[in-house]
Amino acid sequence: MELSTLWFLLIAGLFIGYFVLEGFDFGVGMLVPVLGRDDRERRVIINTIGPLWDGNEVWLITAGGAMFAAFPEWYATLFSGFYLPLLLILVALILRGVAFDYRGKRPEPSWRRRWDAAIVFGSAVPAFVWGVAFANIVRGVPLDAQHNFTGGLLDLLNPYALLGGLTTTALFLTHGAIFLALKTAGDIRTRANRLAERSGLLALALAALFLGLTLTHRATPTAVVLSVLAALCLVGALVANRLPSRTDPQGRREGWAFAGTAAAIALAVASLFAGLHPNVMPSTVDAALNSLTVANASSTPYTLKIMTWVALVFAPIVVLYQGWTYWVFRKRITTHHIPD
């Protein structure tokens, strides 16, 4: 396997990890005022992702750095053509991080409501805009012979891309609701289970439509198989979310349900990259001559070789550390853990 193809797969893996892990905390952020009936319950919801959300964003930073080093032309075209959407994502993520820190600085309910609204905004906007961005990458954008983006913001807001944004939002909302059911107990757990049932059906319908339309643009055997598996995993997650638990008479099989939504998101993103390859950014002007591909967008073989050795050393360390973090904070949280 050529190193350029290897790094395409690695970048795909980084984005898969980002959407699976950041996806559930986007969903949790959107649900803070929905499932939290009072301030103590909202604090429980926020605390489920408190030790995790900033570590999840490392996957995005690493993916962006890997793209910059391995495929500089892809990075340049993407970040210049998608400047406004990516800037909106960045502002939303900054606002969300500030909201997590500042929400508890003052006791007034109005103060906390405003920061709760900031958490919802900072979670919903990236969830939607990432779907719009990736849908446009897969569909193709207007590129000239120098691989410069020649379109405008309205070109990115086409119906297919908006459907992609709605799909990722619904998937992350369901993923977050099931995560809350897995990490909490009592009334929050019950309400999260019920919400996951309703949002999961919507996510399934949107995902089926979006992946079906995607396969009309980028139908490869691998993409078809991954899309079908993604749909089956999502169905399995919704079934598991309704099944009673054998060890907890009042609970459901949230662990299997969470594994199902995680697998569904991972397989869906993998299907997008499988349909995209060997392109990294197709052109709608002249697909044969103007598209960016793994071959014409990559760095030199020497650069890719150095990057490969660095990744072999440091990637396992980062993954092990993050896995240890999830293990330490694996227990359920209830309102009894929240001081007055």
Each residue's pLDDT tens digit, 197-210: 999 999 999 999 99
Alpha-helix residue ranges (DSSP H) falling in the chain: 3-35, 39-49, 53-56, 58-70, 72-81, 83-102, 109-139, 153-156, 159-183, 187-217, 221-242, 254-276, 287-290, 301-328
Q: Tell me the per-residue pLDDT of 284-311, one tens digit each, with 9 for 90 and over.
A: 888 777 888 898 888 888 999 999 998 8
Q: What angle do CA 109, 336, 334 make, to 5 degrees?
A: 90
Q: How far apart are CA 201 and CA 229, in angstroms?
A: 17
Residue type at 183 in one-letter notation: K
Name the pLDDT band for 185 (thresholds 50, 70, 90): confident
Write down the pLDDT at residue 39. Answer: 85
Q: Tell me the per-residue pLDDT of 94-104, one tens digit each, with 9 for 90 and over.
A: 999 999 999 88
Query: Do residues 245 and 251 lie in contact, with contact meaning Cβ atoms separated by under 8 Å?
Result: yes
Q: Tell me the per-residue pLDDT of 233-286, one tens digit each, with 9 for 90 and over.
A: 999 999 998 877 676 666 678 889 999 999 999 999 999 999 888 889 988 888
pTM of this prediction? 0.93
Q: Which of 260, 265, 272, 59 is nearest to 161 (CA)?
A: 272
Name the pLDDT band for 131 (thresholds 50, 70, 90): very high
What is the share, in percent, of the chain residues with pLDDT greater than 90? 54
